[in-house]
Amino acid sequence: MPDQSIPQARTREAAPENAVAAAAHGGISRRRLLGTAGATGLVLGTAGTAAGYAAAPSEAAVPLTSLGTDRAMFHGKHQPGITDGLQARGHLVAFDLAAGAGRKEAAALLRRWSETARRLMAGEPSAHGDTDVARDAGPSSLTLTFGFGHSFFARTGLEKQRPVALDPLPEFSSDRLDKNRSNGDLWVQIGANDALVAFHALRAIQKDAGRAAKVRWQMNGFNRSPGATAHPMTARNLMGQIDGTRNPKPGEPDFDRRIFVPEKGEPAWMANGSYAVVRRIRMLLDDWEKLSVTAQEAVIGRRKADGAALSGGTETTAMDLEKTDAEGNLVVPINAHARITRPDQNGGAAMLRRPFSFHDGINHDGMPDAGLLFICWQADPLRGFVPVQRKLDRGDALSPFIRHESSGLFAVPGGAAEGEYVGQKLLEG
């Protein structure tokens, strides 16, 4: 769980408050509400943090009554769900192509999925057999993101188009991976600020798969809801720590180089795309909560109250790795999680973290099955995730309190232009 934060979110469209109120009382249809949002020209700029929400310092938090009208765009240079702010609810689902299904069936499936994503992200019902689950809601910042796993290329006869960056991740000593909940031919990330909207999208995607693909695994996650705090702030994870302070931000000069495949990169179909590493990281909360706050802070290297480095300052103050106390001991311990994950301690390796927390009940031993659905984005996992995880594997103070239980790596192509579907350049190239 590298010590990084979430970037500024895409601009959203927002309906006027009276339209939202009217919709809440049945005085305006969902379609009219969305039309009103587009006609007003009002724009609310929001930025996501590990809490899934933040705003520019001069802006107030978006009121909860506007959540339904917030809309992300399906068509664009990059797929949605990468640089958008974190949403309050998420679903991750991997599919395997059915026996006998190949390139033709995969192309038809991605065409269906893209059209469904476009409609649902615009607040419209799916084209066929809509369940009406989200009938009364607006888009609620819904995003759908699609990726291809290593095995997809052999199944479709496209091995020559498989990127080198998609080679399987190396094994790590701390891994306790369940193969049945790892990898997959296809991967879909769904996020929204309303649980019913997110579920509606999940159900539509599953139905669209038809006989072409079957679910391999599926996971559910959550983040803090927008507007839940007095002011926008970086989120806390289930350990109670502020999580995500040092994420790369879109405004930084090298952001695109680190996160996205260049337009003239290889393979050509991955231009403007990214690679997603997906891990289910169980937090051993009972053990963690036995530590004192001081001990927890030493493990992370940051103060629990405000996320500031133990070397002093505020959350965003640069960490002083050489600072010592009166006895000559390093203030930020040598094996502190935040020290190990710093890009300048890993040859500049950086990745964009966009996770969800999860809680899947209580195990038979009485311990919560809870933790982090870790999702990170990078132009090349061999220069992003892998070097950082290798270093964590060698001596991260946090390792005794977490367990990596599933893993996946997916090639996520660039966004679809108007009239195109995601992955078209691969499947029809």
The set of catalytic residues is: 243
Q: In the structure encoding, which two tokens stand for residue 246, read together?
A: 């040092």
Nearest to 163 by CA among 408, 325, 379, 363: 379
Q: Is the dihedral of CA 115, 117, 120, 126 positive or negative?
A: positive
CA terminus-to-terminus distance, the chain:
37
Instruction: Give φ, ψ of 138 to 5 degrees.
Output: -85, -170
Nearest to 98 by CA among 3, 237, 216, 224: 216
Nearest to 272 by CA among 68, 366, 412: 412
Q: In the structure encoding, which two tokens stand for residue 317, read together?
A: 């103050």
Around Cβ 299, how many Cβ atoms within 10 Å?
Answer: 22
Are 425 and 269 a contacting pair, CB within 8 Å? Answer: yes
Q: In whole angstroms, give the CA distance from residue 398 to residue 348.
A: 21
Are 141 and 88 a contacting pair, CB within 8 Å? Answer: no
Cα-based distances in Å from 63 to 15, 158, 230: 12, 47, 11
Are 319 and 281 a contacting pair, CB within 8 Å? Answer: no
Rounded to 5 degrees, what angle do the CA atoms 49, 275, 271 make?
A: 110
Are 88 and 194 a contacting pair, CB within 8 Å? Answer: yes
